[in-house]
Amino acid sequence: MKSLDSYFNTPSLTEPWPPDTPVSLVWFRNDLRVHDNPALWHATQQGRPVVGLFIDCQQQWRSHGLGEARIAYVHLAVKSLQQQLSERQIPLLVVPAQTFADVIDVFQSLSKQLQLGNLGFNIEYEVNERRRDIEVWRWAKSIELSVNRFHDQCVVPPGDVKTKSGTPFRVYSPFKRAWLSEARNYSLRPLSAPPVSDTSMVIDDSDPSGSGQLNQRQPAPSTINLDTELWQASEESCHEQLQWFIEHRARHYQQDRDFPAKAATSQLSIALALGILSPRQCLHAALQANEGQLSGGNAGIDSWINELIWREFYRHIAVAFPDVCKHRAFKPETEQVPWRDPIQDTRARADFDAWCSGNTGYPIVDAAQRQLLETGWMHNRLRMITAMFLTKHLLIDWRLGEAFFNRHLMDADFCSNNGGWQWSASTGADGAPYFRIFNPISQSQKFDPDGAFIARFIPELTQLSPPSRHFPNPMERAQARYPDAIVEHKFARERALNAFQQLSRQTEEAV
Ligand SMILES: Cc1cc2nc3c(=O)[nH]c(=O)nc-3n(C[C@H](O)[C@H](O)[C@H](O)COP(=O)(O)OP(=O)(O)OC[C@H]3O[C@@H](n4cnc5c(N)ncnc54)[C@H](O)[C@@H]3O)c2cc1C
């Protein structure tokens, strides 16, 4: 590993303080914000100089399947955080490390160059991240460095919403009821940011070694046409987006949220996935517009709060049932579904490729996939339609779809993605019943009635009348050079039903 000297400027770091002053070190990960950040807030209460640390583990993220555009976006957000912190006289050290295994080296080097008084961070819940943190905690213990850990990814921390018998919930509705009564026991008011200081910042941004300090890096090249107006990486712009949504859209959310042609949802998922906003900030903004009510207020705002609770549900599931973080189905019996294997079966391979590229011949599915490939985001209704199409119509393993989404979504978030895929595949906690198979044509007619969304992402179908866009006839397809459907709906539905019914029979026999 390179010496840390090349990544930050030690003299300017220690300039305002005597060199041996112990510092409060805040390790930023998926919490790239200064407002409502419990680890940062706690560090500023210690009466010590505060130093931030971000460890740039690109190789690890790639091994987790994240795409280049998302990694580039993380860099933008870190750069913005660095600026925000510098205005508060808090330097943010950005240190490259290949994988989580290198993280201890980073801390060891740091501890030689800085007098560490305490270390704080906000908890990440996924298994690899938790293992990494346990190693760091062990190392810190070995040098008698105190470690403070905080929950920031959920309003009610995982483990605190339980059934009457003290077990974790497996089903959403009772979880939600318990969450609503538990939430009032937690502070729903966001923490403030450390005050802005007039004094000039203390970290030197220059990188004389050219060895990769973040400020000097260009985002990795990406074929994604990132809408930088939409995907803002700064905390301030994400706050504005939240406020705008609450003022202009939230009240109509319930009636409009399922229509992808309308910009009716908040599109704050990436800000939440990277922690540029906290869920508590979102909830607080919603409560202010909802006369302080978590439910029973405005139908639109209630419904938006409900989605924030779904997000929490999947995090609670990942902590209580960590097998879901190891590529396992939440319902173990569904491991036996006879998925068609695109590696062994060339027909399945062709179907999978058609799904990935948005060429299945089902316009709503293809428009959804093309939205993902072109923008890095997909509307929730479409995520359900296309995930169900892959797992039920094509009978292809949800794990392949999950990985594809993970690579292409800017808001890729392990818990929500895994939860959404397992819901769609009927393998998950409170998943859709296996016999509930969306018909992509009627979904299209219902949620994109005039085919406006389809036309936006499949321009070759624009010339067709709106009703024809949902499922063009052979002549219309030929004229538009749009592919034939790769599978017939009735046949696919029966094949999926058989596969799952066979499974229920096997389970009954085993019992
Ligand atoms: C197959 C599948 C995969 C998904 N993968 C992801 C993912 O990788 N990352 C991700 O953030 N969401 C994922 N979701 C959930 C949901 O589709 C997105 O959160 C939502 O579309 C984001 O748009 P928005 O910010 O406008 O949401 P809004 O409708 O404005 O909702 C507000 C916030 O609530 C949360 N949320 C909304 N719906 C859900 C949900 N069903 N489950 C969990 N949280 C939710 C999100 O953080 C979202 O930003 C997935 C859903 C499915 C069905």
pLDDT 10s digits, 96-126: 999 999 999 999 999 998 999 999 999 999 9
- Look at residue 195 in the predicted model and tell me its pLDDT: 87
From the CA of 498, how far away is ligand 1's center (Å)?
A: 30
Average pLDDT over residues 75-83: 94
Q: Is 420 in the pocket of ligand 1 (CB under 6 A)?
A: yes
pLDDT at 216 over 50: no
- Look at residue 231 in the predicted model and tell me its pLDDT: 66
Give the position, in ligand 1's atom list, of the atom nearest the Cα of 401: 1
From the CA of 416, how far away is ligand 1's center (Å)?
A: 7
Residue among 307, 365, 386 whose CB has most ligand 1 atoms within 8 A, to mutate:
307
From the CA of 137, how far away is ligand 1's center (Å)?
A: 32
pLDDT confidence band for 12 (50 / 70 / 90): very low
Q: Is 421 in the pocket of ligand 1 (CB under 6 A)?
A: yes
pLDDT confidence band for 20 (50 / 70 / 90): confident
Q: Is 272 in the pocket of ligand 1 (CB under 6 A)?
A: yes
pLDDT at 156 over 60: yes
Cα gap 336→190, rounded to integer Å: 45
Q: What is the dihedral of CA 383, 386, 391, 392, to 10 degrees?
A: 120
Q: Is 430 in the pocket of ligand 1 (CB under 6 A)?
A: no
Sheet with 146-150: strands ordered across:
92-96, 50-56, 23-28, 116-122, 146-150
In sign, the C-alpha dihedral spanning 66, 67, 70, 72 is positive
Residue type, 332: P
Average pLDDT over residues 21-46: 96
Cα gap 131→129, rounded to integer Å: 5
Residue type, 477: R
| CA nearest ligand 1 atom 4, residue | 417
pLDDT confidence band for 441 (50 / 70 / 90): very high
From the CA of 188, how far away is ligand 1's center (Å)?
A: 21
- Look at residue 389 in the predicted model and tell me its pLDDT: 98
Residue of higher predicted confidence among 199 and 129:
129
The encoded tokens of residue 407 equal 């690579």
From the CA of 365, how far away is ligand 1's center (Å)?
A: 18
Percentage of the residues of the chain whose pLDDT score is greater than 90: 85
Q: Is the pTM value of this prediction over 0.85?
A: yes
Q: φ, ψ for residue 25 (rounded to 5)?
A: -95, 125
Average pLDDT over residues 229-241: 86
pLDDT at 236 over 70: yes
The encoded tokens of residue 481 equal 């050079």
From the CA of 483, how far away is ligand 1's center (Å)?
A: 30
Q: Is 154 in the pocket of ligand 1 (CB under 6 A)?
A: no
| CA nearest ligand 1 atom 37, residue | 307
- Look at residue 191 in the predicted model and tell me its pLDDT: 97
pLDDT at 68 over 70: yes
Quick check: helix, strand or coil at residue 135? helix
Contact 405, 417 (CB under 8 A): yes
Average pLDDT over residues 245-273: 97
Average pLDDT over residues 177-197: 94
Residue among 280, 283, 416 whose CB has most ligand 1 atoms within 8 A, to mutate:
416
pLDDT at 365 over 50: yes
From the CA of 57, how far away is ligand 1's center (Å)?
A: 25
Cα gap 70→91, rounded to integer Å: 24
Average pLDDT over residues 160-185: 97
Q: Is 411 in the pocket of ligand 1 (CB under 6 A)?
A: yes
Full set of structural domains in the chain with CATH: 4-152 (3.40.50.620), 153-190+235-320 (1.25.40.80), 332-505 (1.10.579.10)
From the CA of 438, how far away is ligand 1's center (Å)?
A: 19
Cα gap 357→367, rounded to integer Å: 10
From the CA of 220, how far away is ligand 1's center (Å)?
A: 25
Cα gap 270→33, rounded to integer Å: 13
- Look at residue 196 in the predicted model and tell me its pLDDT: 81
Helix, strand, coil in percent for the chain, rounding step 5: 50, 5, 40
| CA nearest ligand 1 atom 11, residue | 269
| CA nearest ligand 1 atom 52, residue | 420
Q: Is 413 in the pocket of ligand 1 (CB under 6 A)?
A: yes
Residue indicated by tokens 């905690």: 137
Residues 6+ apart with CB under 8 A from 168: 159, 161, 162, 316, 317, 320, 321
Q: Is 472 in the pocket of ligand 1 (CB under 6 A)?
A: no
Residue among 258, 380, 396 whose CB has most ligand 1 atoms within 8 A, to mutate:
380
Q: Is 330 in the pocket of ligand 1 (CB under 6 A)?
A: no
pLDDT at 228 over 80: no
> Which residues, in sequence order, are bridge partners of residue 149?
121
The encoded tokens of residue 271 equal 């800000």
From the CA of 470, how far away is ligand 1's center (Å)?
A: 25
Residues 6+ apart with CB under 8 A from 16: 49, 89, 199, 202
From the CA of 425, how far away is ligand 1's center (Å)?
A: 16
- Look at residue 330 in the predicted model and tell me its pLDDT: 97
Average pLDDT over residues 157-174: 96
Q: Per-residue b/e over 463-493, b at no fewer than 16 CB within 10 Å? A: ebeeebbbbbeeebbeebebeebbbebeebb
pLDDT at 230 over 80: no
pLDDT tens-digit profile of 303-357? 999 999 999 999 999 999 999 999 999 999 999 999 999 999 999 999 999 999 9
State the average pLDDT for the chain: 90
Q: Is 238 in the pocket of ligand 1 (CB under 6 A)?
A: no
| CA nearest ligand 1 atom 18, residue | 380
Average pLDDT over residues 394-398: 98
Q: Is 443 in the pocket of ligand 1 (CB under 6 A)?
A: no
